Amino acid sequence: MRKLTVLGLGVALLAAAGAALAAPGTDAAKADGVSSEVVSLRRLTQDEYRNSIADIFGPGIEIRGMFEPTIRVGGLQAASTAVLSVTPAGFESYTKMADSIAVQVTGEKLRDRLPCTPARAKAADDKCAGKILAHYGLLLFRRPLTDAELKSRITLAHTLAARQKNFYAGMRYGLASLIQAPDFLFRKEVAVPDAGGKDYTLEPYSRATRLSYLLWNSTPDAELLSAAQTGALSTEAGLKKQAGRLMASPRLEAGMRAFFNDMLELDTFDTVSKDSLLYPKWGVAIANSAKEETLKTVLDLTLTRDGDVRDLMTTRDTYINRNLAAVYRVPFPFNGDWVRYEFDPKAGRSGIITQVSMLAMFSHPGRSSPTKRGVALTDILLCEPTPNPPNNVDFSIINDTGGPLKTVRQRLMAHATNPVCASCHNHSDPVGLTLEGFDTIGGFRTTENGEVIDLKTRIRDTTINGAEDLGRYLHDNPKFTACLARKMFAYARGENTMRVRPNMFQAAYARFVDSGFHLRALLTGLAEGPELYSAPPPKPASGGGGKVSMH
């Protein structure tokens, strides 16, 4: 009975998903007499899913299952959520997760959290079932259920409760059908004509969703959904009030942690490996610590201390634990796990670009890589991607570590004499060469194979000598702050960074600049501005009906 029911729900989900995923580009819908357009379907990330379930059903819910992977588009994984679907295997996993969650929510241990208690636990109770399903439906779908959606779930819960003579058995499947529905798994963004009637903007519930996932990395809470229901979120004052409330919450850290994890590509650590013979210190514990060090540094400077984000390129302040102390070769005579630490000026460290995370992620298993580091940093921090190399490039000179060319710089110079390779290497290598004072796991060094490492190079018309010079160069480079703002705008909207034009976030960026480059000013400018919620106009179809493409 149980397997058949779950399988049946899974099949129903696949059918519903097919219809839902076809929504962008279909004819305009009518909501309360107003033309509306589905402009985007954004699949929840693993963290968004987990955070949403915890916020909706309370702490202690275990989520067991595999999530569909994301890819990086235009420098951000968030951009792929608007273009990725879910495989049949993925839907099967989501179905099992939904059932597992529903079992816990309706189980004896947690059912006292439900909005009501049935008249009889061994019989169907449509009134109580409707109250529970409407309550959780609003939170899961991030909008009220339609009459048809609610009625179908009440019918499902009634049928199974009557069949098994157990109200909570019926509720289990009613809730599971909501949790596994495309309306929960995907953030459906709907646009309506704005006040002027010429342009399109997100309707209130879509606004609430976009705002909440940007600032809290989770589903809208009851107050935000209420502001959407009353229409307050479509007014300047109402939007400002809710954005300010979310910004003032400690939960802002979760939202910014997700953004910087994506922007700085810290997920790359999942595939980083090092030669255990050459670097026996390296392991999962150090990798996890390095990722956390960078996030702690970023969040402390930008949120806790409300500092200038440019200082991320130059600060010597960081957080370390015993694992990282071994790599940084500093004593750790402290109690506890994490402590604030300031590097000595002679250590040559400069902001997050010289932390273990950024140095180790973009290096080879057994040696450093100025090219990989340069390619990564120019793309991540300056929004200047380097073209992929041709398939027939000869890397034998670079890989010949036992030959007469002792240092990476010497081998790169020889390799880059090839005109085909020179243009890309001239773009990326100068940045990476300044970081050669650090090995593949981020340890400090002055020599390579017995040769003194030369850290001097030129970037554009500027002479750079080592990591500290690079940090100051990036600190003063207006492309860094412009890239940060551009990526945050793209992240919030689920768009390819390279397709975002400067004028699309101009007002928010001006506020950012005027503030002295404080992250909260940028967030406020984005959250309160109309640009974040603007939507493309519907495109006329050949058949005469209004259609819209995904943005």
Distance of alpha carbon 187 from alpha carbon 181, whole angstroms: 11
Give the phi and the psi of residue 348 in degrees, each rounded to 5.
75, 10
Alpha-carbon separation of residue 49 from 20, 69, 101, 187, 224 (angstroms):
18, 13, 12, 11, 18
Distance of alpha carbon 527 from alpha carbon 525, whole angstroms: 6
Q: Could you give the dihedral angle defined by the CA atoms of residues 515, 520, 526 and 527, in that order, rounded to the nearest 10 degrees? A: -140
Distance of alpha carbon 408 from alpha carbon 432, whole angstroms: 11
- Encoded tokens for 400: 């010949």
Q: Residue 244 above 60 pLDDT?
A: yes
Q: Band the pLDDT of 28: cuts 50, 70, 90.
A: very low
The total number of residues shown for the chain amounts to 551
Decide if 190 contacts 142 (C-beta within 8 A): no
Decide if 72 contacts 380 (C-beta within 8 A): no
Instruction: Name which of 508, 474, 478 is nearest 490 in CA terms.
Output: 508
pLDDT in tens, 94-142: 999 999 999 999 999 999 999 999 999 999 999 999 999 999 999 999 9
Alpha-carbon separation of residue 440 from 156, 247, 351, 361 (angstroms):
57, 38, 17, 8
**Extents of the domains making up the chain:** 2-191, 269-476
Which contacts of 302-305 are long-range, i.e. CB under 8 A and separated by 24 or more positions? 302/256, 302/518, 302/519, 302/520, 303/252, 303/253, 303/256, 303/519, 303/520
pLDDT given at position 14: 41
- Reduced to 3 states (helix: H, G, I; strand: E, B; else coil), residue 458 is strand
- Encoded tokens for 537: 């106009």
More confident residue, 247 or 450: 247
Once rounded to an integer, what is the mean pLDDT over residues 529-542? 79
Distance of alpha carbon 122 from alpha carbon 168, whole angstroms: 8
pLDDT given at position 345: 92
Q: What is the pTM of this model?
A: 0.89
Distance of alpha carbon 435 from alpha carbon 537, whole angstroms: 47
For 151, the enclosing helix (H) or strand (E) is helix 147-164
- Reduced to 3 states (helix: H, G, I; strand: E, B; else coil), residue 144 is coil
More confident residue, 239 or 546: 239
pLDDT exceeding 90 applies to what percent of the chain? 74
Q: Residue 42 above 90 pLDDT?
A: yes
Decide if 106 contacts 116 (C-beta within 8 A): no
Q: Provide CB contacts within 8 A for 516, sequence distance 6+.
A: 308
pLDDT in tens, 289-319: 999 999 999 999 999 999 999 999 999 999 9
Distance of alpha carbon 287 from alpha carbon 277, whole angstroms: 17
pLDDT in tens, 319-365: 999 999 999 999 988 777 999 999 999 999 999 999 999 999 999 99
Burial class (CB in 10 A: 0-12, 13-18, 19+), 508: buried
pLDDT given at position 406: 54
pLDDT given at position 1: 39
Q: Can you say whether the dihedral through the CA atoms of 256, 338, 267, 384 is positive or negative?
A: positive
Q: 539-540 and 34-43 as β-strands: parallel, antiparallel, unpaired?
A: unpaired
